[in-house]
């Protein structure tokens, strides 16, 4: 049975959170342009042996969307602190953490900033912010046009996206999916409705990735900070298309790494839930 909670995690910020199952805790963080619903298949399987916690991130879905009053409001450091506070409020000081896309960047930052709290880390289909910007070069960077659009100062990107929100967010649901049936019409509508209602906060999340998040990653790289826990990365082989070695980039951050190339599309938790669930279960027995 799934229970829903509004969990306060910071001043004026509560996260809409689904909780199911019992046992050791696993927190699942969604990506863009999605909500916690993306975990519906994986969470149902994991709940047989674990307490599964699926929030909408700050600024997304039915969670609170504070105004962007400074770069730190939607920094991954702030959003990671939300996740640690969420787990603690639900009675879990230590937990495994899984993130997809934007949620994976939050999970990565949580694992770097809070290694005593994160027991294992799984990342679905991203690179760390520092590496992502380094590999986006030349004409091939056009695939990430949205990163550059939402990196612009407040105003123009919000107005442009709001003017055609369903087309903008729907574009990514279409081009990043290899199996369209994996995101049925009702779920697609839920994603579009939620994203349309959150344009300023979604843009603020991305804007932080071109600024304060990048600065935080650079500081960790300079200090030699690395991920202290077992890490699994599931990733499409887009490194071969853009000319980089994704496994090598991740190995620089994660000494205990399992890097798995995946043939499913970007939304792999919905397109290949059995694969994703199996890899998470394998990760949870690593220590």
Residue positions annotated with a catalytic role: 101, 266
118-124 β-sheet, strand order: 3-10, 13-20, 50-55, 24-29, 95-100, 118-124, 231-235, 257-261
Which is nearest to 85 in space by CA: 24, 16, 7? 7
Beta-strand ranges (E) seen in 89-225 are: 95-100, 118-124
Q: Exposure of 163 by Cβ count < 10 A (0-12 exposed, 13-18 middle, 19+ buried)?
A: exposed
Which two tokens mark 38? 């993306």
3-class DSSP state of 126: coil
Contact at 8 Å (CB) between 100 and 38?
yes
CA pair distance 84, 97, nearest whole angstrom: 10
Kindly report the number of other CB atoms within 10 A of residue 217's CB atom: 24
Angle between helices 102-113 and 76-89 (to 10 degrees): 80
- For 130, list phi and psi in degrees, rounded to 5: -60, -45
């Amino acid at each position: 049975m799934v229970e829903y909670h509004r969990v306060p995690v910071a001043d004026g910020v509560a996260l809409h959170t689904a909780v199911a199952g019992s046992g050791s805790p696993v927190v699942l963080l969604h990506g863009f342009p999605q909500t916690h619903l993306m975990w519906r298949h994986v969470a149902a399987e994991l709940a047989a042996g674990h307490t599964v916690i699926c929030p909408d991130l700050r600024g997304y879905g039915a969670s609170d969307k504070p105004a962007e009053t400074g770069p730190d409001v939607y920094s991954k450091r702030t959003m990671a602190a939300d996740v640690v506070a969420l787990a603690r409020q639900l009675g879990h000081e230590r937990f495994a953490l899984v993130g997809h896309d934007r949620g994976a960047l939050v999970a990565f930052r949580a694992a770097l900033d809070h290694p005593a709290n994160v027991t294992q880390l799984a990342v679905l289909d991203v690179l760390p912010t520092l590496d992502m910007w380094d590999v986006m070069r030349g004409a091939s960077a056009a695939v990430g046009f949205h990163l550059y659009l939402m990196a612009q100062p407040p105003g123009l990107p919000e107005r442009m996206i709001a003017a055609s929100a369903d087309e903008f967010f729907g574009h990514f649901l279409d081009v990043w999916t290899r199996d369209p049936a994996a995101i049925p019409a009702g779920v697609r509508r839920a994603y579009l409705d939620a994203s349309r209602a959150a344009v300023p906060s979604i843009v603020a999340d991305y804007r932080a990735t071109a600024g304060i998040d990048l600065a935080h990653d650079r500081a960790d790289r300079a200090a030699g900070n690395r991920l202290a826990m077992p890490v699994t990365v599931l990733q499409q082989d887009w490194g071969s298309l853009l000319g980089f070695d994704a496994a090598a980039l991740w190995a620089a951050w994660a000494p205990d790494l399992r890097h798995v190339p995946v043939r499913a599309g970007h939304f792999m938790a919905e397109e290949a839930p059995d694969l994703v669930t199996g890899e998470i279960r394998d990760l949870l027995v690593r220590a």
